[in-house]
Amino acid sequence: MNKSKNTYSGIFRDGGAGGLAKKRYRARRKRLLNKENILMAITGVPYGPGQETVWAYAHCPTYQEPAIMYLTGINQSNVILLLDPYSFESDEILFVGKKDLSKEFWDGIRFGVGDTKSIREVQRVTGIKDIRDIDDFDEVLKGRFKKQRKKRLGTLWMEGTREKKIVEIKKDHNWKFKNRLARCLRSRGGSSSLQNIMKNHFELRLPLDSYDVKNTLLAEKITGRSFVETLKKFTSFKSEYQVQGFLEGRMLEESPYGLSFPSIIASGPNATVLHYMKNDDIFSKGEMVLMDFGVRWMTMHSDISRTVPASGKFNPMQKILYEIVLKAQLAVQRKARRGITMNELNDCCWNSVNRGLEKVFKSAGGKFKLRYKDRPHGVSHLMGEQEHDGDPFRNYLSEPMQEGWLISNEPGLYGSFRIHLDGRFYDEEIGIRVEDNLLITKTGCENLSRSIPKTVGQIENLMATKSIK
């Protein structure tokens, strides 16, 4: 084997910790063990991309269940982690499938069991000493559960509250795994003993450590450089897909970890669709183009939005509206700190946007009709192992923010706008969003994407500069 090749890079992410990665992941597992203090079983994604449908073959990277990625760094489907704080044998067991060399011939190396050599290799790479066949999981679980003084089993599924009622996501792999555990324990009289570890897991996971921050900063820098190069070439583009191809190409030139999400490139009225995905329209020079984009580094993400004039220069109405959004963004950044809730940031943001429309745009004779009532979307979401992290029901919006949380800051404005300015009449459907990523600190917050241009002057100057590439 060529030792210069990073053989396991696709299935084990060291998080930038290098030789300390195994200790880092072990420390995370120990913190969860200490916090929950019960037997726990956590599953990874059950199969790789393209394996659920018989009519499609999709060869693409696996994106692991974030809980498994956070606790182990393992980016491989069909793994289960068992944590047992009361075992004298081993307090952690990793279950993987059998080694399959014929499958590896097609898809690359995978962790597996079946012989001593394979098991030793999993132990060496992951740092987990007890490696077992995933086919034995149910029996091992029953045996471990039988020995528990506390007849409880912790696992993770997604739940939250809506209108004071508990709601659950019942179609994902975590819910299916929960039901599997219930069936497994039913014969032991333990099917009602399942306990959701979601809250404690997120409390540990959401504050970023120093490696996470470093990885996020690298993602932000790559994103920023790619955006700058895109701006320099922008006036030569005629379509959304040309912008997407160039921007994503630049990001992927610098990161082997993929995009944070498929880019949104929305021109003119398309930008009033929040999750516009077609990216196939031709745009005119008089339109603005909204771009929502980002790249991964290790398991961290950037999530950036910028809105630019296709011509390279904002017209007077576009400039007024853009600066209303930018002013709201800066107001949110000043307010963001530990102890403040994201609901409070929402109030700050949309009050600022509405004041700007009334005091600046309307007072100048402008008229508008928004595509939404009150507020179009939250100004912030948590970021971490997922580009949108935390519980999917956004119950954390009312939680006081903590040091180490990474949040988005993305005010927007979407609607139809008309105004007479300097003897000209402007009438456009416009969507504007400006998004940065803020790290909550001891004294306030740090804008990790502060180097990515966003003022009117910065954008226009760069668009007037020709790329050397």
From residue 353, alpha-carbon distances to 55, 122, 437 in Å are 48, 53, 19
Q: What's the CATH fold of domain 210-463?
A: Creatine Amidinohydrolase (3.90.230)
User: Do 175 and 169 form a contact (C-beta atoms < 8 A)?
Assistant: yes
Amino acid 55: pLDDT? 63
Task: Give me the pLDDT at residue 50, please.
Answer: 64
Does position 57 have pLDDT exceeding 90, yes or no?
no
Q: Where do the structural domains in the chain lie, given as residue ranges?
A: 18-205, 210-463
Residues 6+ apart with CB under 8 A from 425: 418, 419
Task: Please give the share of the chain, as a percent, with pLDDT higher than 70.
Answer: 95
Burial class (CB in 10 A: 0-12, 13-18, 19+), 263: buried
DSSP structure string for 181-210: HHHHHHTTT-GGGEEE-HHHHHHHHSS--H
The pLDDT of residue 300 is: 97
The whole-model pTM stands at 0.94
The whole-number average pLDDT for the span 413-418 is 98
pLDDT digits (tens, 9 = 90+) for 10-23: 899 999 999 999 99
More confident residue, 163 or 118: 118
Average pLDDT for residues 54-83, to the nearest whole number?
Answer: 87
Q: Which letter does DSSP use for residue 466 in this model?
A: P
Rounded Cα distance, 35 and 81, in Å:
17
- How far is the C-alpha of 329 from the C-alpha of 433, rounded, in Å? 10
Kindly state the average pLDDT of the residues 246-264. 97
| Averaged pLDDT for residues 231-256 | 98
Instruction: Sheet containing 424-433: give its strands across.
Output: 367-370, 412-421, 424-433
DSSP character for 358?
A: I
Q: Chain centroid to CA 249: how far? A: 20
Which of 101-105, 146-150, 340-344 has maximum average pLDDT?
340-344
439: amino acid identity, one letter:
L
Predicted local confidence at residue 190, as pLDDT: 54
Structural tokens at position 326: 């930018």
pLDDT at 163: 82
Q: What is the pLDDT of residues 269-302, one digit of tens each?
A: 999 999 999 999 999 999 999 999 999 999 999 9
Place of tokens 């306030």: 444
Backbone angles phi, psi at 452, to 5 degrees: -85, 120
CA angle at residue 160 from 155 to 165, to 5 degrees? 125
Q: Is it the case that residue 58 has pLDDT exceeding 70?
A: no
The pLDDT tens digits for 178-200 are 999 999 988 766 556 899 999 99
Q: Evaluate if residue 213 carries a pLDDT over 70.
A: yes
Say which CATH architecture domain 18-205 belongs to.
Answer: 3-Layer(aba) Sandwich (3.40)
- Of the chain, the percentage scoring pLDDT greater than 90 comes to 86
What amino acid occupies position 174? Answer: N
Mean pLDDT of all residues belonging to the chain: 94
pLDDT digits (tens, 9 = 90+) for 340-392: 999 999 999 999 999 999 999 999 999 999 999 989 999 999 999 999 999 88
Strands (DSSP E) contained in 36-189 are: 39-43, 80-83, 92-96, 131-133, 153-155, 159-162, 165-168
Q: Which of 232, 233, 318, 237 is CA-nearest to residue 284?
A: 237
pLDDT of 84 above 80? yes
At residue 87, the pLDDT reads: 92
Going by C-alpha positions, the residue among 381, 382, 384, 385 that lies closest to residue 63 is: 385
Q: What angle do CA 229, 316, 358 make, to 5 degrees?
A: 115
First to last CA, the chain: 37
Is the Cβ–Cβ distance between 98 and 133 less than 8 Å? yes
